Chains A and B, each alone.
Chain A
Amino acid sequence: MPWRLLRFALSKHHPEGRMFTPHSRLKPHYDVVIIGAGGHGLAAAYYLARDHGITDIAVLEKGYIGGGNTGRNTTIIRSNYLTPEGVRFYDESLRLWQDLSTDFDLNLFYSNRGHFTLAHTDAALRTCRWRAEVNKHYGVNSEVVDAAFVKRTVPMIDLSCSGHAPILGALYHAPGAVARHDAVAWGYGRGADQRGVEIHQQTEVLGIEVQAGKVRGVRTNRGNITTGKVLCAVAGATPRILRMVDLDSPLYIHPLQAMVSEPVKPWLDTILVSGSLHIYISQSSRGELVMGAALDPYELHSTRSTLDFPEGLCAHMLDMFPFLSTVKVMRQWAGMADMTPDFAPIMGKTPIEGFYLDAGWGTWGFKATPVCGKTMAYTVAHDHHHPLITGFTLDRFRRYALTGEKGAASVGH
């Protein structure tokens, strides 16, 4: 590493190529157009190129790479969900995460921390047991632990939560992890770029042309493109894209906010989530406490922050960790979460031929980035659903066949 750095000091020119190839104009046609250069869109491009030999792809991004929810999330990675569909899907994602850094030759700062879902009520403890049993059945490492175990692992915690909401136990998920979010988008983006995929930033999709129920092309602020396949991976902007193709969906958009504290010495090496207090917290490798809470309470298509959010979050944080009262908040921000009524995503084919959806990832889609890329690439390449996503299709609502992941995803993480 020092030698590599020395090259930069000695060379008159920048000794390394750019991370992404710039493209001055759009071609008139691509085999596949992907809307959205977040982790999901770029991962799909990467696996289409790497595993399916499809490289004539344009990824269109209205802002910059990873500037959407990918770059705004609190990076919790786990697979302790509640439904068999969910557990199988997220567990495959967790497996894919393990060798991504090597795959990309890029450090993703993937850090295995262990993940606690704290139970403050009998009902919450019951859900923890249920989740643990579903998880174990599918070979996922989860167990219910008592309050003393929590205290041993996190000595700074006030188990009584200032007397308001005593912790009775927790669901402990040893594989829980965090990772560097931007690097995930960059890694997938560079991998796709090296295989011939074109990534166009500052390129907004303004319309989608559909004829006789089939996708024909897209209209952008930099010109029109013809294509037979469009993958929409735009998170909080999904309803706007669906309006372009006249599709209705159960998606609704609420902001989700997060914040970080000033950096402090390492004292928390696990991830803690409390549904009752509506908070979650981990400590980043820079020492900042990364904190989040529940969704904002009403629909809004904007990434504004509010003062109510840090106020409420800090109050609950102090219930659990009174010693944090002197620590300052550094930054806060928001993303637009695309929510579904059953807290499961909407993935796969749609009534429009050649129009594929990867949406409904709300507050929980970062961890799923690798498996979404992989399964959506398969689905787009074969025009046939990957077996892992058949429980997540848009038509499940018409069939009243919801997936019911709420118990495991109701706090944003």
Chain B
Amino acid sequence: MKIMTCPINGPRPVSEFVYGGSVRDMPDPHTCSDDEWAAYVFNRGGAPGVKREWWCHTASNTWFIAERDTEQDRVLRTYLHGEEG
């Protein structure tokens, strides 16, 4: 991967972006068990696959979501949060 497409600014060199980790759903801290909370805090789906990830285009400070194959290093698509379509 050398180029990534920012949903606002279009294709840019990957050096302009930073990775923000996988998109993960937070359990409700008031109702979940300690084990569920620890799993949320620490565990990561570490195996390869197509993942939804947070990325930021640093030049414009745009946070967005990328679907990326973490074995081939190929971005399938990028979109703003909530604009999945």
Contacts and interface: CB of A to CB of B under 8 A. Distances in A.
Interface in B43-64: 43-48, 51, 53
A54 B39 CA distance: 36
A243 B51 CA distance: 15
Interface in A241-264: 242-243, 248-253
Given A302-B71, A304-B73, A398-B38, A297 B18 contact: yes
Contact of A250 (B18, B42, B51): B42
B47 A242 contact: yes
B45 to A, nearest CB: 8
Contacts of A243: 47
A254 to B, nearest CB: 9
A299 interface: yes
Contacts of A400: 38
A207 to B, nearest CB: 14
A304 B47 CA distance: 17
Contacts of B47: 239-240, 242-243
Contact of B43 (A240, A248, A301, A304): A248
A249 B38 contact: no
A301 B38 contact: no
Given A239-B47, A253-B46, A302-B71, A308 B15 contact: yes
Interface string A293-306: 00001111110100
Contact of A301 (B15, B44, B70): B70
B46 A397 contact: no
A250 B44 contact: yes
A252 B39 CA distance: 14
B15 A239 contact: no
Interface string A116-130: 000000000000000
A297 B15 CA distance: 10
A238 interface: yes
Contact of A298 (B19, B44, B46, B71): B19
A341 interface: yes
Given A297-B19, A397-B43, A398-B35, A240 B73 contact: no
What bracket does the count of chain A residues touching chain B fall in?
20 to 34
Interface centre among A249, A251, A300, A400 (most CB of B within 10 A): A300
Interface residues of B, number: 20
Nearest to A255: B73
Contacts of B41: 397
A300 B18 contact: no
Contact of B44 (A252, A302, A398): A252
Interface in B4-51: 15, 18-19, 35, 38-39, 41-48, 51
B78 to A, nearest CB: 14
A251 B44 contact: yes
A250 B51 CA distance: 16
Nearest to A250: B42
Nearest to A241: B47
A240 B47 CA distance: 5
Given A299-B19, A398-B38, A249 B46 contact: yes
Contacts of B39: 248, 398
A302 B73 contact: yes
Given A301-B70, A400-B38, A238 B15 contact: no
Given A299-B53, A300-B71, A398-B39, 8 more contacts: A238-B46, A239-B45, A243-B47, A249-B44, A250-B42, A251-B44, A301-B48, A304-B73
Interface of A: 238-240, 242-243, 248-253, 297-302, 304, 308, 338, 341, 397-400
20 contacts: A239-B47, A240-B48, A242-B47, A250-B43, A250-B46, A251-B44, A253-B46, A253-B48, A299-B19, A299-B53, A300-B70, A301-B70, A302-B71, A302-B73, A397-B38, A397-B41, A397-B42, A398-B35, A398-B39, A399-B38
Instruction: Identify the 4 closest CB pairs spanning chains A and B, nearest first.
Output: A239-B46, A298-B19, A301-B48, A239-B47
